[in-house]
Each structure stands twice: as C-alpha cells, then as structure tokens.
Chains A and B, each alone.
Chain A
Amino acid sequence: MNSLIEITFTINGEKMVRKVKPSLLLINLIRDELKLKGTKPGCLEGECGACTVLVDGIAINSCMYLAVNVEGKSITTIEGLGTLEKPLNKVQEKMLEHGAVQCGFCTSGIVLSIKSFSDKCKAQGKVPTRNEVKKSLEGHLCRCTGYVKIINAAEAVYK
C-alpha cells in the first residue's frame, strides 16, 4: 500500500503520525480510525454541519475536508473541549442552560462553531449582534429546537 501518505497533526492536544489514503475524508479519520465518535455524520455533503470540527481554530465540515490536508495542523473535536477538572466548557454550559439540546445529533458541530466564532470575536474585541450570531449558525441544520434556544445560548457565550 505505497499509496498511503504520512501525515503529522495534533488532535485534541495530542500529537499524531498516521498513514492515510489520499482520498480519506477527515470525518472518517476522526470517527473510523481514531474512534472519536462525538463528531456526527449528518449528510456527508457539507449541508448540515453536524460533523463540524476545528482545524487551527476554524470551524470546518469534516465531511468536505481531506484528511491529508491536516498535515501540520491542529484539530479540535467535541472530545477536546472539556478537561478532567472542568468537563464542560462555557459553550456547553450555555447550551444546557438555555435548553438548546434536544436529540443532540447536531449539538457537537454547533458547540464547535460557537466556540470558533466566539474565539474570533474575542480576538477582535467585539460582541456580535443577534443577526451576526444567527448568521454564524447558518451552516447548521437542527430539526428539533427551531434554533431559537441555540441562538440564545450562543448570545450568552458572547456576553
């Protein structure tokens, strides 16, 4: 199998070297090879956002991203947000407080998107408007909540 390509990357703070097929999607590296099942397969066509992870802090659809492209980069999945001391980060706490979780299948991706947008806003020293918050969540489909509580949770994170 000389067609495998060696990649070096960091995932949830842990450095890794893997040999992967050039066609391997990042979602499959994460779920099938690394067994991090919190990243969810919703559509595998870049429409629903359930498989969102952070690559160097930017939220991307892992179903539309080749695994070989994480070479030298840092990935954060939902499993990488909490710590032993603090198992829930602020985004997760706000999602629960605001009732933004029902079936939960879209939740991992949404949490990571909010985290990414919140970090970006913090770096720029700005508090986004409600419309900007809505816009930041546009790439996620949720069939249970009607989005209102997710938008509320996200707003609470930025405050």
Chain B
Amino acid sequence: MAKELSIISKSTQKFDGKERVTGKAIYGHDIELPNMLHGMILRTKYPCANIISIDTSAAKALEGVACVITADDADVNMIGYKRDHPILKSKTVNCIRDEIAAVAATTKDIARKALSLIKVEYDVKKGIFNPFDALKENAPKINLAGKGLEQFANKNIAESFHYEHGELDVQKAKSKVIISKRYTLPRVAHSCLGTSNITADYSKLNGCLTLWASTQVPFLYQRDIAHALKMEPSKIRIIQPTIGGAFGSKLDMLPFEPICALLSIKTGKPVQILYNREEEFIASPTRQTMVIDLTTGADETSRFTFREVKITMDNGAYTSWGATTPFVMMQTFSSLYQVPACSFQADAVYTNNPFAGSFRGYGNPQATFSVERNINLMAKELGIGNDEIRLLNANYKGEITGQRLHYKTCGAKPALEKVIKESHYKVKEKKKNQGRYKTGIGLASMLHVGGGAKIYRSDGCGTRLKLDHYGYLTIFTGSSEIGQGSETILAMIAAEELGIPFEKIKVINTDTDVKPWDVGVHASRTSFVSGNSLLGAIKLIKEKLNKQVSKLLCVEAGDFSYKNGLIITGDKEIKIDKIVRDMHFGLPNELCVAEYFYEPPSDFQDKQFRGNVSGNYAFASQAIEVEVDTYTGNVKVLDVYVSQDVGRVLNPLGLQGQIEGGVVMGIGYALTEEMIFENGNLINPSFHGYKLLTSTDIPNIHFYPIETFDEAGPYGSKGVGEAPLIPTAPAIANAVANAIGVEFCSLPLTPEKVLKAIKEKTII
C-alpha cells in the first residue's frame, strides 16, 4: 500500500530521552539566573468575599523584599477566553484560587514571610457552588465582567453552545426504546509531576520580556501575555524549558504568569515563581465537572434514532478554554456511531468554584461516558448484546455525519470487532459468578479528531530546515515537545526521507524568536501537523538538492534515493554534505535551507457548528475486564483490550506509551480520582488525599492498532494522544454493571460508592 520504509513504523527510542534519563534536562524548576528573585502569590482566604482593604506596608518593609504588587500597581487587561478574569483581584474575590497580591524577594523564605505580613480585610459572602443554584432567578451575578444577560439566557451563563441535526420528533416517534439518564462527572486534576513554573526576565534596555514558561501553546501564549500586559507580542520571547507533563493544563495562560512578568518589570530583575504541590492542586486547571442529561433512542431493529442532551458545566468563577469543550463533546453526541437526529445544548455556568481548563480528551471522556452508558441501558431494554448493538450502529468509511464530519477512513468497526474477539467478550459477558469476587466485562468506543481541529484562524504549523556543510540537519519546528514524543517522530521522518542518521539531526522547538508559528499542542494534532509540515519542507529541500546533484553528476533530475548520508542515482552516489558545500560555495551560491507552512485541509465549521473540522478522525474501542470485591466495594481492573484506528503506526514504542499512559489515566478517572470541594474549598490538595494509581494497580493492557492509511496524515497516520483515555471509564462502568448488576451514572467508582450500591440493591 505504501512505499518501503526503513525507519517509520519501527520502534525508536525517545530522541530526547538521554537528557531526561540522566537528569540533564533542564525543567523550569532548574533555572537560576543571576540576581534572580523569588516570586510568591497571596491568594484569598475565602472563595467569595468583598475585599475591604489590603495593607502591604509591613511586607514592603521586610529586608530582602524587592517588590510587592496588588491590583492598584498593575495596568493590565483582563485575561481568559472571555476576558473576564483580572490577574490581581482588588474589590471582590470569587474563588479560592484568587490572587490578591504578589511579592518578589531575594529568597523563598523571605517571600513566604512577606506574604504572611500582608493584611487583607474581607467582608465574607455566601458563595454559590452549584451551577443549578447559580441559574436561579434570585442568584447574584457571580462574575461582574460576565456577559450572560447580553449574550445568553442567564446572567451567570459564561458560554453556551447549541447544535442540532435531523428530525428529532420523527426519530423519537420511531423509537422503540428511549432511555433518559442524568450523568455526573467529577472534577479531576492533571497532576503533572512537574508543578507549574515560570521565570521572567524583563530588560529595561530594550523593553523586551523573556519568559521561560512551560506552555504547550507558545504562540497563543505570547499573544495572551502581550494582551494582559499591554505589550507588543513580538517584544515577548517565550522559551520553553523541558516540560514536566502538561496533558492540556498548559493551554491557558494563568494569572501567575503575567504576575511574574510584572514583578520582573517592576524590579528590573529576573523573577521566578514555582508552585508547590498544594498550590498546584488549588491553582492550576482541572477537568470540567458537569451534569449531562442525556436521552437516547433506538428503533425496533436496534438502530439508534436520536440523542438529546443538555449539559450543565460548572464553569467556575472565570472562563478558560475549558468552556469550549462542548466543541468536542458535540462531535461525540452527533457523530459517535450513526445518529439520525441530535439536539445538543451545553451551558457553562459561573460558580464560586475554581475554573476548569483543558484536559486530555477535552470534554470527550465526559461525553463518551454518558453515551456509552446509555447504549448499554438501551441494549438491555432491547434484549440485544452490548457488542451487537455497537457493531450494528458503528461508523463506517465514507460516512458524512449529521455534523458534516467526513470519515474518509474509519476503523470504528474493525476496532470493535478486534476487542470483542481478543477479550472473548461474548463468553465473558455471560459468565455467572458467585461468592465474594465477581468479574465483569464492559465495552466502550470513542471518536476524536485525528488531524487537528480548525478552531483558530489557522490550524497550521511551520517548519524550517537547515542542512549544513557537514551533513547535519537542523529542524526548526513550530511544534512543542511536552514528553509525548513529537521530537522523535520528526527525527524519524527526517531520517527516513533524507537518509541522515539520528546523530546528525537536531530539533529546535523551544524558542518563539527562532521557531516558526504553530497553534500548539492540543487536539492530538502535533505529529499530524508538524509531520506534514516537515514532509513539505523536506520536499522543497530535496528539490534543491536534486537539482544540484543532477548538475554535478550530469544526470537527469529524477527519483534519487537518500541513504546513509548519500544521494544515490543509478550506479552513482554522492555525499549529501558535499552537495551542500557545492551549492553554497559554488553556483548558485545558496544556503541549503527550506521552509514550509502546512495548513490542514479541514474546514471551519459554520454558525451551526457544521463542517469537516479535522484532517481525519480517530476511532477506538476498549473492552475491560474487572473484578469487584463485594465485601469491600473495591474494583480491580484485570485486563484492558484496546484497539485504536491510528491511521498508521509511526513509532510503535512511543504509540504504546501513549496508549498505556492514557488507559491508566482513564482508570484513575473511573475509580480513584476526585477533587473534593466543600463550599468552594478544596479539601484534598495533596497526593495523600488525591489518589493517583501506582505501579501495583496496573492491569494487563493489550493493544491492537488498526491501520487505515488515511491520506491526510503523514504516512497515513492519525492523531493518537487523547483517544486512549476516552473510552476507559465507561468501559469500566459497563464492566462493573456486568459484574454486579448496578448501573452507575457517576464517577469515580470508589469502594464506598460501589459498596453502598451493592447494599442498596440487596435491600431492594
């Protein structure tokens, strides 16, 4: 199907792995600049209050304190997706994260002491911590900058999405079975091992600001910082140190970042802010908690008829990118399986809780949980197998969905068939077990963008190539490495196409002054867009090289092959570095460089959210076997069977790592993770109270990639990063239902919750 490849599709070690495994990689926490000050932030004591006064005089007088700032010292713009978020709060505080003042001092101890000397007088108010309370007529307006009344139906609505296709009433009338359920999804934390950090260095000499920032979207971030600080974007240079995990958490610029820049601007010295773990839990983004009211139907042949969904998202006090997760959720409701009619409404509602952000899957784990649970409930009513109903309604190649997503390739059915077969689903589902431990098996599928998502004005990525006189290739890419392995993929592509060995390839991807533009790491897009962009640049540089070769060797320009640092044509070969020298020092006296900007062939969606928004689409299914301890309520995941349409496997080793990491994150979402809030205060802001899985919790993970060779992706590939965690939680909940007969509509399935459900069922 494709040409013979020697590097692509072969397991390749992480290109930038040696630095990470030896402790040499420099993360933001490791940066120390001369005369650097340490910044810290005073946050509110109460989630909802008026500020009567702020007295910073004692803090300012403390020896070693260089600067104390409050909102009065900052001529700044509001930030956030809806520009409804002041970076320092002066009159009111709206959630427990709120920043009131910041200090810069010569040591961390002095900075901490200075914070304790700042006196804030509050007039404490009763907060609103539930979106349904916030929607009530008599509720006060929570975010005063919100535009709910002007734009939407309620003063406390921050953002709202409506989508529909098909004839809902007709499909309802056709339905033999209709299931309505309310699903409640928890707030969970990214829990990056490296906490949030930034180092800012402002030069009074030229007005330039350098930020060492672990953003995953450096060019949007540069624009956002510029907006916040009323600066010119190009005066701001973003350098990304090695990033200790992101998973979406570094999509939004948060207040601590412009605050750190302000401290540097005010002092003329470099300033660093590092979060501790408690601050990381309290003051970095989370996944959205939401309530999903879903009604779905199927006709007498078990074909799906319609989905009607109303989602109420807890937006928190300010609006981040998290409010736009309905973009992704509506794709799942409208287009995961064949759906003749769909009506979708999602409202992000202001509350006095912390605001959520973007998190791997971007709403899709929540949406898929509700869809896949409802499918099981419909199958039960219809008397059809959980596997059969899914196969019957599976998406197919060539399908153009109601939302106009065009599946030019589609591995949905093959993925389902694969996990059903490999897991022995049919046999295991019917297994009856008695006694304390009961096993069960569950199925779930998912759909996610695989070729970027055109939601900004461009979904593109730039690449520049420099081939030097010694045969070394430098790839300047707009894309960012956040641990996911994008540098490795780029090096593999370059090595494959240009025959240059890995040790002669460098990837430069951390400096906005140097690298070309890219939207950033999100939507599982990086290998897709940066790979295509690199292939475009390679084509151009090869044209130059081929021309020079044909001139030098007096042969027709044709299909030369590139291997082991040589360019080969027929029985003639020449070293690639010799060609570069010839090109540079001889005629045409040119550098051997090329640049290319790749824009995916996707469409902007119209005002009704219709359009083929991605270059291609990823499909996946999981079958998961669990064992429930009916004495303790503990759910143990035994085996996870994953099949995913990845288009084409680029790096099996890296791909498997994404799958396993995603699945385990999904198991945590299903079973153990939850940020517990009481009246706006987080009561478990540590790894003691917030339970991540450890090595002893890990099941057997069996992975079966499906290759559909989609023409839009590099070598036929699709994005893979987010998909593996999306179907995990519903597959587990379906498995638990199979084991003990209890249908859960919320997460996580903690032992307490499972035990209670078992007991109540027994009583009933």
Residues of A within 8 A of B (CB): 35-45, 47-48, 50, 77-79, 81-82, 87-88, 92, 95-97, 99, 101-108, 111, 131, 134-135, 137-151
Contact = CB atoms under 8 A, between A and B. Distances in A.
Contacts of A87: 18, 22
B660 A149 contact: yes
A87 B664 CA distance: 32
A102 B29 contact: no
B38 to A, nearest CB: 11
Contact of A143 (B13, B26, B191, B484): B191
18 contacts: A37-B23, A38-B23, A42-B194, A42-B195, A42-B277, A44-B276, A45-B686, A103-B246, A105-B244, A107-B20, A135-B695, A139-B694, A141-B692, A141-B694, A143-B191, A146-B661, A146-B698, A148-B660
B404 to A, nearest CB: 35
Interface in B175-225: 190-195
B694 A147 contact: yes
B21 A95 contact: yes
Contacts of B13: 96-97, 99
A105 B687 contact: no
B574 interface: no
A135 B247 CA distance: 27
Contacts of A142: 193
Interface string B623-667: 000000000000000000000000000000110110011111100
A107 B654 CA distance: 16
A143 B694 contact: no
A111 B21 contact: yes
A150 B23 contact: no
B310 interface: no
Contacts of A107: 20-21, 23
Contacts of A88: 18, 21-22
Interface string B266-302: 0000000000110000000000000000000000000
A44 B274 CA distance: 13
Contact of B483 (A42, A92, A104, A141): A104
Contacts of A140: 694-695
Interface string B665-689: 1000000000000000000001110
A78 B194 CA distance: 17
A41 B196 CA distance: 12
B460 to A, nearest CB: 26
B665 A135 contact: no
Q: In this complex, which of A38, A87, A140 has the most chain B Cβ atoms within 10 angstroms of its Cβ?
A: A38
Given A96-B13, A99-B13, A143 B247 contact: yes
B485 interface: yes
A42 B275 CA distance: 10
Given A38-B24, A88-B22, A143 B193 contact: yes
A120 to B, nearest CB: 17
B14 interface: yes
A141 B687 contact: yes
Given A45-B277, A104-B483, A146-B701, 8 more contacts: A78-B23, A104-B20, A134-B696, A135-B695, A143-B661, A146-B661, A146-B662, A148-B698
A105 B485 contact: no
Contact of A141 (B25, B193, B247): B193
Contact of A149 (B191, B656, B663): B656
Contacts of B663: 146
A88 B13 CA distance: 14
Contact of A37 (B30, B653, B654): B30
B34 to A, nearest CB: 14
Nearest to A135: B696
Nearest to B655: A99
B340 to A, nearest CB: 37
Nearest to B688: A47
Given A101-B14, A103-B245, A145 B661 contact: yes
B656 A103 contact: no
B657 A145 contact: yes
Nearest to B26: A37
Contacts of A37: 23, 26, 29-30
Nearest to B488: A99
Interface string B450-466: 00000000000000000
Nearest to B107: A32
Nearest to A137: B695
Contacts of B23: 36-39, 77-79, 107-108
A11 B30 CA distance: 19
B445 interface: no
Given A40-B194, A47-B687, A104 B660 contact: no
A39 B27 CA distance: 11
Contacts of A105: 27, 192-194, 244-245
B684 to A, nearest CB: 12
A38 B23 CA distance: 4
B583 interface: no
Which of B18, B19, B23, B243 counts the most chain A CB atoms within 10 A? B23
Given A106-B193, A151-B695, A144 B483 contact: yes
B242 interface: yes
A147 B20 contact: no
A36 B245 CA distance: 21
